[in-house]
Amino acid sequence: MSISVNNISKSFKGKTALKNISFEVKKGELFGLIGPDGAGKTTLFRILTTLLIPNHGEATVVDFDIIKDYKSIRNNVGYMPGRFSLYQDLTVKENLEFFATIFGTTIEKNYDLIKDIYVQIEPFKDRRAGKLSGGMKQKLALCCALIHKPKVLFLDEPTTGVDPVSRKEFWEMLKRLQNKGITMLVSTPYMDEAAICDRIALIQDGEMLEIDTPKKIVKHYSKTIYNVKANNMYQLIKSLKSYQHNYSVYPFGEFVHYTDTRTDFSPIDLQHYLTSKNLKNISIEITQATIEDTFMELAK
Amino acid sequence: MKRFIGFIKKEFYHIFRDKRSLFILFGMPIAQIMLFGFAITNEINNVNIAILDHSKDATTQEIIHKIESSKYFTITASILNETEIETAFKKGHVKAVLIFEKDFSKNLGKENNATVQVIADATDPNTANTISNYVTAILQKYQQKINVAVKTPYQILPKTRMAFNPELKSVFMFVPGVMTIILMLVSAMMTSISITREKELGTMEILLVSPLKPFQVIIGKVVPYIFLSIINAIIIVLLGILVFNMPVQGSYFLLAAESVLFIITSLSLGILISTVSASQQTAMMISLMALMLPTILLSGFIFPISSMPLPLQIISNIVPAKWFIIILKGIMLKGVGLQFIWKSTLILVGMTLFFIGLSVKKYKIRLE
């Protein structure tokens, strides 16, 4: 096991941030931590990177205890905090060189590991890090976290504030790194990114809701979901919410995800109801449950 | 060791890329020493005065002549009657008026007694005081001259000698003071800000999750500022010597060694401040309030400690600057060796060890 967490709890001044968290990450796994802001993701990262001490429970990273062997952990992991935490007044190259030096290595020694990513920012290697775009900054931060060939990589919301194209690129890079045998724990508030992970854990209010592969997690969702669409979104949501048989109503892009309390639900009834509410161009179709639906259901 | 050098290299990048701070770092000592040396002075030179001479005889002429020939006064106006005195003061042209009574020479010869009135503009009390002292001195000198023939039976003649600073130059007081302030400011404030900046930007988080040891981070932060502070100290001493003829009577080596000691004391204070403050702003406020003010007010730099109320005198003992100023004045003006300043030196060493010990105890290897 690369990471093993056993019954971890943490509270700040009486406010609980994490409640009895337990999970394991296998060697070489890409493990996603999915949850909204304030769910406790960053606290969990800080505990595992030995920056915080939990109130209860124990955890090991690369078989080192997070409290007793914190020095060994610090030698063996890479950490990319949620906020951009590089030196803005240093150039791209200087930042990378600095992190290589403090980990007792050189860029050349581990170049093969960062090559794929570094070639993308290399044209800007003499630019100050503070002047890079959001996506570039994240790529540089990833390079800096990787430069010492860590066994485990912790990435706290690496794609927050990054454009969709760069986000996709970033996850592809993580997938490639996985092939090089690096265990990764990644957190994100974006449910759509979760599907790329080997396994994901849904976390909310400091509690683990579910841990499984993205495919299986969706299967936990037992209800049939309907994509409902009409000419007036606002009116549609309002009408659905006041429909007496509604179980859940969530806007989802251009559709509304709707589930019904009845087992013998027929879309025709709903169609009639919505027409009576003056809605036009109504379409109702069965759709697949997404991780977001599962999350909403579990968080209910 | 390679890690450590890499870290120091990074620190120098930070310092040299921040042009504004760099300018303050080296511009400030020069500006301060010039300001204190030239502008803020207790000496008087070429003060404009006016004369109201009711007598206009040989004696008054001679006295006026004496006053005019001194470099302290310039006689700019002759006033004809009392009413003009106030106008002259109000216009601000003159700082003092000398009034000779009627029949000055006659009175002096006949009654052995003649009066001169000195009216000084006391809106600036220090200058007024100095002016009246200087005028009195000139008059006394003249009196002694005309009394040579006559033997006065009982007379006490004080012969003062101003040791170590015979000309009473105030710049002799300001150079050690400014040096103390600048070293304190650069060392304590700059290090505390540079350490808290890492906390604020989140880079401290990464540094903690790296094999760098806490003392490597701290020493790495401190080393560049030791260099900068030494350069600053050299600039200040050079300016003092070259521009203001400040003497260095004692050994330069001792001066350098004591300066380095004080720099380290200030740096350890800076580290201590950074361990208790979470943001650059807090660090700066603490440095300014807790270090700058006592350094200026309670160190004996501007206000003599012996004339302070007892509680403040006691508090002044914990201000490192007080001891450094004693050391500086000792070496530069009195030319003493270590045997006379070992006590102050020992106190600074003790303070440094105390601050470092406290910082090490307070330094967090984690975020909480």
Q: Is B148 on the interface with A (CB under 8 A)?
A: no
In this structure, are A191 and A239 located in the same domain?
A: no
Is residue A265's pLDDT more than 80?
Answer: yes
In this structure, are A14 and A79 located in the same domain?
A: yes
Which pLDDT score is estimated for B12? 92
In this structure, are A198 and A254 located in the same domain?
A: no
Q: Look-up: residue for tokens 């992991």?
A: A77
In this structure, are A178 and A246 located in the same domain?
A: no
Q: Is B22 on the interface with A (CB under 8 A)?
A: no
Tell me the CATH number at A264: 3.30.70
Using DSSP's 3-state secondary structure scheme, residue B115 falls into coil
**CA gap B82, B102 in Å, rounded:** 13
Interchain CB distance below 8 Å, A84 and B202: yes
CA B367 to chain A, closest CA, distance in angstroms equals 5
The top-scoring range by mean pLDDT among A3-7, A228-232, A269-273 is A3-7
User: Please, which pLDDT band fits residue A92 given cuts at 50, 70 and 90?
Assistant: very high
Q: Is B3 on the interface with A (CB under 8 A)?
A: yes
**CA gap B184, A300 in Å, rounded:** 59
Interchain CB distance below 8 Å, A46 and B17: no
> DSSP character for A49?
T
* Last residue in a domain, options A219, A248, A279: A219
In this structure, are A241 and A276 located in the same domain?
A: yes
* Last residue in a domain, options A219, A246, A267: A219
Tell me the CATH number at A151: 3.40.50.300
Q: Which residue of B has its CA nearest to A71?
A: B211
Which of A50, A67, A87, A156 should be substituted to probe chain B, the one whose Cβ sees the most B Cβ atoms within 10 Å? A87
Residues from chain A that touch B5, judged by Cβ atoms under 8 A, are: 101
* Last residue in a domain, options A196, A219, A242: A219
**CA gap B266, B321 in Å, rounded:** 9
CA A189 to chain B, closest CA, distance in angstroms equals 21
Q: How many residues does chain A have?
A: 300
Q: Which of B304, B310, B318, B311 is nearest to B350 (CA)?
A: B318
For chains A and B, CB pairs below 8 A equal 80
CB B312 within 8 A of CB B217: no
Domains and CATH numbers, chain B: 17-40+169-362 (no CATH), 47-146 (3.40.1710.10)
**Domain span holding position A71:** 3-219
Is residue A215's pLDDT more than 90?
Answer: no
Q: Is B147 exposed, middle or buried, given 0-12, 13-18 or 19+ CB atoms closer than 10 A?
A: exposed
Residues from chain A that touch B364, judged by Cβ atoms under 8 A, are: none
Which pLDDT score is estimated for A25? 94
Which pLDDT score is estimated for B143? 83
Which pLDDT score is estimated for A78? 93
CB A258 within 8 A of CB A228: yes
List chain B pLDDT tens, one digit each, 368 residues.
888 899 999 999 999 998 888 888 888 888 888 887 777 666 677 888 999 888 888 888 888 888 888 888 888 877 888 888 888 888 888 889 989 888 888 888 887 788 889 999 888 887 888 888 888 888 888 888 877 766 666 777 777 787 887 777 777 888 888 889 888 888 888 889 999 999 888 898 899 888 888 888 888 888 999 999 999 999 989 988 898 888 888 999 999 999 999 999 999 999 999 988 889 999 999 988 888 888 888 888 878 888 889 999 999 999 999 999 999 999 998 888 889 899 999 999 999 999 988 988 888 888 77
Report ipTM (2 d.p.). 0.83
Reduced to 3 DSSP states, what percent helix, strand and coil does chain B have, rounded to the nearest 5?
70, 5, 25
In this structure, are A208 and A230 located in the same domain?
A: no
At A261, phi and psi to the nearest 5? Answer: -80, -25
In this structure, are A182 and A232 located in the same domain?
A: no
Q: Write the DSSP assignment of A212-237 as a string of letters.
A: E-HHHHHHT--S-EEEEE-S-HHHHH
CA B197 to chain A, closest CA, distance in angstroms equals 10
CA B232 to chain A, closest CA, distance in angstroms equals 24
Q: Is B18 on the interface with A (CB under 8 A)?
A: yes
Q: Is B361 on the interface with A (CB under 8 A)?
A: no
pLDDT tens per residue across span A16-30: 999 999 999 999 999
Average pLDDT of the residues of chain A: 90
In this structure, are A143 and A163 located in the same domain?
A: yes
In this structure, are A61 and A138 located in the same domain?
A: yes
Q: Look-up: residue for tokens 């990273």?
A: A61
Q: Look-up: residue for tokens 């870290």?
A: B7
Percentage of chain A lying above the pLDDT 70 cut: 100
In this structure, are A39 and A138 located in the same domain?
A: yes
Q: Which residue of A has its CA nearest to B212?
A: A102
Q: Which residue of A has its CA nearest to B14?
A: A89
Which pLDDT score is estimated for B265? 94
In this structure, are A156 and A259 located in the same domain?
A: no
Domain count, chain A: 2
Q: ∠ at Cα A199 (A224, A286), nearest 5°?
A: 15
Which H or E element spans position A252? strand A246-252
List residues of chain A with CB under 8 Å from any CB of chain B: 46, 49-53, 70-71, 74-75, 77, 79, 81, 83-90, 94, 97-99, 101-104, 144
Interchain CB distance below 8 Å, A102 and B201: no
At B178, phi and psi to the nearest 5? Answer: -65, -40
Two tokens at A15? 């406010």
**CA gap A227, A236 in Å, rounded:** 12
Which pLDDT score is estimated for B153? 66
Q: Which of A95, A100, A176 is nearest to A129 (CA)?
A: A95
Interchain CB distance below 8 Å, B209 and A77: yes
Residue A276 CB contacts under 8 Å (≥ 6 apart), including other chains = none
Which pLDDT score is estimated for B38? 77
In this structure, are A49 and A146 located in the same domain?
A: yes
